[in-house]
Structure 1
Amino acid sequence: MAGLLFVAFAFFAVAQAGLVRNGGQSAADAAALAAAQDDRAQFYDGFLDAVSEGGDGWRDWLEGIGPLDGDGCGEASRFAARNRSDLLDCEQITRHGDPGYTVRVRTRFDTGDTFLPGADHRKATATATAVLRPRCSSDEEGDDADEIGITCEDEEFTVGPDDQDTDVRPSDLFAVVLVD
């Protein structure tokens, strides 16, 4: 009987550790995605602004190239906190030409008291990387000074200088995906 109790408590301790680890990974994933989504919003706004200004500058924004001045790491920190974790590190990266973030978080919650030596009050540390992938291309021959045509994964949009209320959404232009 004592052996069964020991196995049951050991199983419970392992399950607690797994829950803490999964919670930490979820917090890291959410933080990395939030940081990349902040950049996506900036690329979207930059694209619309460049279209309204005229010229060819919108192409860089559509390809995910442009000067960013947002707070992706601030967003990562906020999302880590929403998941009861602390942001330990946040770094802007480029992975296969796609801009993104790698974040590392530590949970504020822990395994609690256990009867296993060394397993008490253990917190988890987790890392995640999310990138922004452009989804659209433009047919150069179809462009004119007043409006541009873009194709985003087989869906076509026309955007003009006065189309600030366009049907195209940030998620139409860019995918935000976890890569690690």
Structure 2
Amino acid sequence: MTRLRTHADAGQAFPIYITVVAGLLFLALAYLAVGQAAVNRSGAQTAADAAALAAAQETRDQLAHLWVTDVLDPTKWQDIFNGDAGKDSCWRATELADQNAADLNGCHWDGAFRYDVGVQTRKSVGDSIVPGTEDKHANASATAVIEPLCTFKLPGDDAGDHTLPKLDCKDDREWVLNPDHLTDLPGPGDLFDVHLATNDE
């Protein structure tokens, strides 16, 4: 009788064992699907961040180049430090999205110091136990801003024709410009900062 009961118990436990294993396998596949989606989402965010920063850096470089070009005409500086002289650089956002295997699905420039960018990954989440994921693509957005780092005051009427304003920049940096020896000019990174926007920007 004992042997028969042991075999019977083992026979009853086997279906339970199969059910538990199947459940664990299902959970493992579900976690894998979630992981695939997270990786895809992370890739989309990386592409969006890179695209927004690239566009902002291109405009920053344009503004810095214009400042160097017009360094002897301080009356044009304010437009540059206001961002009014920049050009739309969303084409750079397209390039960087492409380099990160994503497509740009939106790029807005505010005409001065801000780029809002959206991207979609080309690679889908892939096949998984979750229906429809094979056609799902991750989307992400990012905002990059350009921040002027320097201020200046135009020389008074009594100043000489060749007197240039002094640039007062962040981190207590000063640039005293000699119009006769313009050899030590600030670079783009000295004049403007580029960074991803925070929630309060």
- Answer yes or no: same fold by TM over 0.5: yes
Deviation at 1:162, TM superposition (A): 6.2
Deviation string for 1:28-50 (max 9, x for gaps)? Answer: 11101111111101110111111
Higher Cα radius of gyration:
2
The answer to whether the 8 Å contact 2:115/2:143 transfers is yes
In structure 2, runs of 5+ residues without a counterpart are 1-20
Q: TM-score, normalised by structure 2?
A: 0.77
1:108 corresponds, among 122, 129, 139, to: 122
Find the counterpart in structure 2 of residue 80 from structure 1: 97
Number of aligned residue pairs: 174
Deviation at 1:59, TM superposition (A): 2.7
Q: Secondary structure, in 3 states, of the residue corresponding to 2:124?
A: coil
Deviation string for 1:144-176 (max 9, x for gaps)? Answer: 624332121111123344666534111111111
Q: Which runs of 4+ in 1 moved over 6 A?
A: none
Alignment of 1:63-102 (within 5 A): 63-69=81-87, 71-93=88-110, 99-102=113-116
The answer to whether the 8 Å contact 2:74/2:164 transfers is no
For the pair 1:56 / 2:75, whether they are aligned, the reply is yes
Q: Identify the structure with bigger relative contact order (alpha carbons < 8 Å, sequence gap 6+).
A: 1
Find the counterpart in structure 1 of residue 50 from structure 2: 30
Alignment root-mean-square deviation, CA: 2.3
For the pair 1:175 / 2:184, whether they are aligned, the reply is no
Find the counterpart in structure 1 of residue 17 from structure 2: none
Aligned amino acid, residue 130 of structure 1:
A
For the pair 1:2 / 2:22, whether they are aligned, the reply is yes
